[in-house]
Amino acid sequence: MLTLWLSSMLWVSTAGTAEALVPARLERGLELVYRGDLLEETARPGVRYARRYRVEYRFLVLDLLPHGAELAALTIIKPVEDASNPVPSHEIGSAVRLERLAFGADGQLQRLPIVPYAAPRVPVVDPLADGQPLPPLPLDRFATLDAGPFPELPQGSAQPGQSWTIREPHRPERVWKIVGAESLRGVRCFRLDGRQQTADWDQPHPQASEWPWQRLDYVWVSPSNGFASRLLRQIERRDPATGQMASRVTLQLELESRLQYRGTLFDDRLQELRALFQFIEALDRWLPQTGRIGTRPFDILLAKIADHQKNAPATPYREALKPILQKAELARRGETPTTLLSGEPVGSITPLTLGRPAPDLEILEPGNPVPFRLSHCQGKPVVLIYVRPTSGTVDAVLAFGQKLQNLHGQAVRVVAFVTEGDGTTGLRLKVQHRLGYAVLPGQAAAILHGVEQTPLIVVLDHRGVVRQSVLGWGQQTAEQIQQALEACLRPAARL
């Protein structure tokens, strides 16, 4: 797909290009608006779909720092409901995320903590000292925080024809190269090509536990400003057994607006963003205490939000109020969301540990008004299954869970958590495999339980204590789980 699209470009040339590419030049009040399309594809036996989204990235420079700039970043991703999307858009859901970022002198973006803004604001000596790296891009779905419009450059500057390497924790190196210059809507741009892939991408191993993947980036950057004018990215995973595409995410973005706001127009945006950051900070502070602090804090917050909506001038960033309102209203009813607005889990991450109780969690299953709560399963052994829907072992692992449920009936509870996909992915798998046990959205469960790799099968005894935990799949896995489950079912185990 990308190869065909790129081959339609009219001109690429490295001749006579003396300019150097340097990190983006930012000014207070500068707003960059990117819009485009995103396509998620899955192609496995029995599971084939393509889902389209409209994407908007909005970056506003709030202030200049001694060694960079402070930005607000708003991401809006909305599904397109058409013949290619079998699931209605209201069931897929939209993604809205507001973040506070720092742009360093090296051109790298970092996440900054959401802090309440005082009036007048107390200056911070060096906000970059509190910066954290952005989370890695997902391999099989869209990202709600993306640094793509700000290209990864080597220290200093880059020249046409130059290559450089970016290191990413726990992933292969990403190699970039300036391949030449192109005219894009009458503006001279450098085109940067990036490639990142696993060592087995070209020769997948049929028995590999992890699927090979490749990420390709094509970024057009004007040397006059240093940020992207166009971005095209594709992340693809292959089924190691067949060598064929298993999932693919394609993103196309265009810079649609580049304006610098001053005076009232900038002040309105700044006032709205500071209010939003205050709402986020307060809500993320109170959510872990839902059910213990009563409804008053959430009533006060909702009243402040209503006052802001009524009296403050509306800006494009008001879209970020939607998730704030949703979580605040849930909390006022005494329901604890699984994640904060920052994306972090509500409560601390507690890895599943042999001999210790599994941390409790609550998850809403699509179509079921009663949430699943792990602590309600106590009284009988429980088998927890964490799977990726596009994994080569998902069919066998889910079938094993059904085998255990058939064998032990009501004496055992089997629950599967799908760690990728949207809220309907588990339901589709349950119908496809004719499963008689719950298959739940599992992103939050994986975070709270510290699950980083799948498939993972865990056995809890009748008190909710972890008695076995096996990563991977094979005959030995099944035997270990069956032995642990049988031990939990013995009468002596209940004393």
Give the tokens for residue 487.
């031990």
Q: Which residues of the chain have pLDDT under 50?
A: 1-17, 86-92, 118-124, 495
pLDDT at 56: 97
Task: Give Cα separations from 453 to 387, 392, 428 (angstroms).
Answer: 9, 14, 22
Task: Note the pLDDT tens digit of each residue in 232-274.
Answer: 999 998 887 778 888 899 999 999 999 999 999 999 999 999 9
- Would the pTM of this model clear 0.75, i.e. be above it? no
Give the tokens for residue 164.
């450089």
Task: For the chain, report the end-to-end CA distance as a whole number of angstroms.
Answer: 61
pLDDT at 354: 83
Rounded to whole angstroms, the Cα distance separating 28 from 31 reads 9
φ/ψ of 465, rounded to 5, equals: -90, 135
Residue 233's closest CA among 313, 142, 334?
A: 142
- SS3 (DSSP) at 173: coil
Give the tokens for residue 489.
């079912």
The architecture in CATH of the region 362-494 reads 3-Layer(aba) Sandwich (3.40)
Task: Note the pLDDT tens digit of each residue in 35-83.
Answer: 999 998 877 655 567 889 999 999 999 999 888 899 999 999 998 876 5
Running DSSP on this structure, what letter comes out for residue 22? -
Running DSSP on this structure, what letter comes out for residue 436? S
Kindly give, in sequence order, each residue whose CB lies less than 8 Å from that of residue 303, ignoring residues fewer than 6 positions away: none
Mean pLDDT, rounded, of the chain: 83
Strand partners, 63: 70
pLDDT at 456: 92
Task: Give Cα separations from 464 to 244, 381, 401 (angstroms).
Answer: 41, 8, 18
Q: Would you put residue 229 in left (φ > 0), alpha (ψ -120 to 50) or beta?
A: alpha
> What class has domain 18-260?
mainly beta
pLDDT at 250: 97
* Angle CA 381–387–391, to nearest 5: 150
Q: What is the DSSP string of 116-155?
A: PPPSSPPPPS-GGGG-EEPPPPPSSS--SS--TTS----S
Residue 467's closest CA among 395, 383, 364, 387?
A: 383
Q: Where are the domains of the chain?
A: 18-260, 263-332, 362-494
Task: Note the pLDDT tens digit of each residue in 289-301.
Answer: 776 788 899 999 9
Task: Give Cα separations from 475 to 206, 400, 433, 478 (angstroms).
Answer: 17, 11, 20, 5
pLDDT at 50: 82
Contact 471, 393 (CB under 8 A): no
pLDDT at 408: 93
